[in-house]
Amino acid sequence: MSHLLNRAISRAAFRLGSAVLQSKQCLEAKYKLQVAASSGHYFKYQRHGFASSQHVQSGSGLSVNQTRLWETIHHTAQWGATPEGGVRRLALTDLDKSVREWFVAEAKKYGCAVKIDQMGNIFAIRRGRNDDIPPIGIGSHLDTQPAGGRYDGILGVQAGLEILKVLEETDTETHAPLAVINWTNEEGARFTTGMLSSAVWAGNATLQEAYDHVDSEGLTLKGELERIGFLGDVEASFDKNPLSAHFEYHIEQGPFLEDEEKSIGVVTGVQGMTWLMVDVVGRSQHCGTTPIDRRSDALLAASQMVSRVNEIAWENGGVTTVGVFRSSPQSPGTIPEEATFSVDIEHPSNETMDRMTISVRESIEAIAKKHGCKIKIEQTWRSAAVAFDEECIGAVRDAAILHAGKDGFRELPAGAGHDSVNTSYKCPTSMVFIPSKNGISHHPSEYSTPEHW
């Protein structure tokens, strides 16, 4: 499937190249406008001057080396391999340092220049015919969850490297330079904000906010970058280190492709996510002497809220999850006085997600009232849904049709966050998915077949 990504990239490079050749001044003007306008947070880029989609190349004719890709992925799994067959490689640990050093050495072996920015993001850049154009990025992440698998993120970086190797071996020139990128701390498992370093690059988080993150042992992100030798001096910003486009190749992490026997997912965007923390306060009393009709049982109220939160997902075609639940005072003989829980609300449409959030709030308020409880609801996070770039989606779709036939793929939004969410604020972006066995990820049993790769 990195063959597919290869084709999508070559099409994008071709389109970008065509645009430059046909209308270089126009592109430069639009690009300057984009750079000038991109200083504010959450700026949505203007469409580039890509050539229209009738300029479709019939594929690069190149193919990646499947055996080498397989061997490389399992070779690098040594850094963090677990007895269960997965990988535990938390960001900026010694294991992460080892795989990073391997990545840099490998990229240099194949003629790439390597840039490391202030967040430790690594850009392995292969020159193009027009080096004044920012590179087309192929990015993902080499860090994992604590009980992670061998493919989440890793496949995207390794496949990018494999593409560069094939281009180098076949002496192939591309219009634009290409950059294979390892984004730092995508998982947010050690420093607990996911997609953190691409957020800094995109201006969606500040460098200081990122540097202030500490892990569970009190070690700072900046200190750990320094310690493992990956605190680079390139400014972590789109303005100073831009990309023309960003493609990310990733396992689906969900069941749809496998269920529908599709081999490729053309990713149209990423769904929005909202997190709430809910605190319910009732009255703790003796549970034998307090009649059943004279109670303010915080846990009982909260458990009805949890059930209602689930119904709201069914009613709106989204997903909701209560992942944290605590009650006090934790005594079998006392009516619970307080219950606290988290709510995760996700939907591909921001409008529906916000409507679901209102519905969750109203339901919680109504249930609390019925039980005579007080509530506090705090929204702790909201990540808006993003739609990927039509031209990039088109490049992936064209390549998918060529590769798997018109019935061999489906379009779908990503259910999980990815670095591509952040890049999509700054440059045309899309993603390629392949099926995940049983829809499982963030687990050692995560698997996708080499044929799908």
Q: What is the binding site for Zn ion (CB under 5 A)?
A: 152-153
State which residue, 152 or 338, has the beta carbon closest to Zn ion. Answer: 152
State which residue, 93 or 182, has the beta carbon closest to Zn ion. Answer: 182
Rounded to a whole number of angstroms, the minimum distance from the CB of residue 43 to Zn ion is 25
DSSP letter (8 states) at residue 50: P
Rounded to a whole number of angstroms, the minimum distance from the CB of residue 264 to Zn ion is 17
Rounded to a whole number of angstroms, the minimum distance from the CB of residue 85 to Zn ion is 18
State which residue, 34 or 422, has the beta carbon closest to Zn ion. Answer: 422
- Do 285 and 337 form a contact (C-beta atoms < 8 A)? no
**What distances in angstroms separate CA 114 from CA 2, 104, 230, 409, one per listed residue?**
22, 7, 12, 34
Name the residue number minimizing CB distance to Zn ion. Answer: 153
Q: What is the rounded CA–CA span in Å between residue 72 and residue 165? A: 12
3-state secondary structure 219-253: CEHHHHHHHCCCCCCECCCCCCCCCCEEEEEEECC
Rounded to a whole number of angstroms, the minimum distance from the CB of residue 372 to Zn ion is 45
Rounded to a whole number of angstroms, the minimum distance from the CB of residue 149 to Zn ion is 10
Rounded to a whole number of angstroms, the minimum distance from the CB of residue 4 to Zn ion is 18
Residue 178: closest CA among 110, 108, 243: 243
The SS3 assignment for 427 reads coil
State which residue, 60 or 422, has the beta carbon closest to Zn ion. Answer: 422
State which residue, 149 or 282, has the beta carbon closest to Zn ion. Answer: 149
State which residue, 153 or 269, has the beta carbon closest to Zn ion. Answer: 153
Q: What is the rounded CA–CA span in Å between residue 185 and residue 120? A: 9
Which parts of 77-153 fold into alpha helices (H)? 94-109
Q: What is the rounded CA–CA span in Å between residue 9 and residue 247? A: 8
CA quadruple 150, 275, 283, 290: dihedral sign: negative
Residue 333 tokens, joined: 């003989």
Rounded to a whole number of angstroms, the minimum distance from the CB of residue 144 to Zn ion is 9
163-187 b/e (C-beta count within 10 Å ≥ 16 → b): bbbbbeeeeeebbbbbbbbbbbbbb
Radius of gyration of the chain (CA): 24
State which residue, 85 or 405, has the beta carbon closest to Zn ion. Answer: 85
State which residue, 85 or 329, has the beta carbon closest to Zn ion. Answer: 85
Residue with tokens 């504010």: 40
Rounded to a whole number of angstroms, the minimum distance from the CB of residue 222 to Zn ion is 23
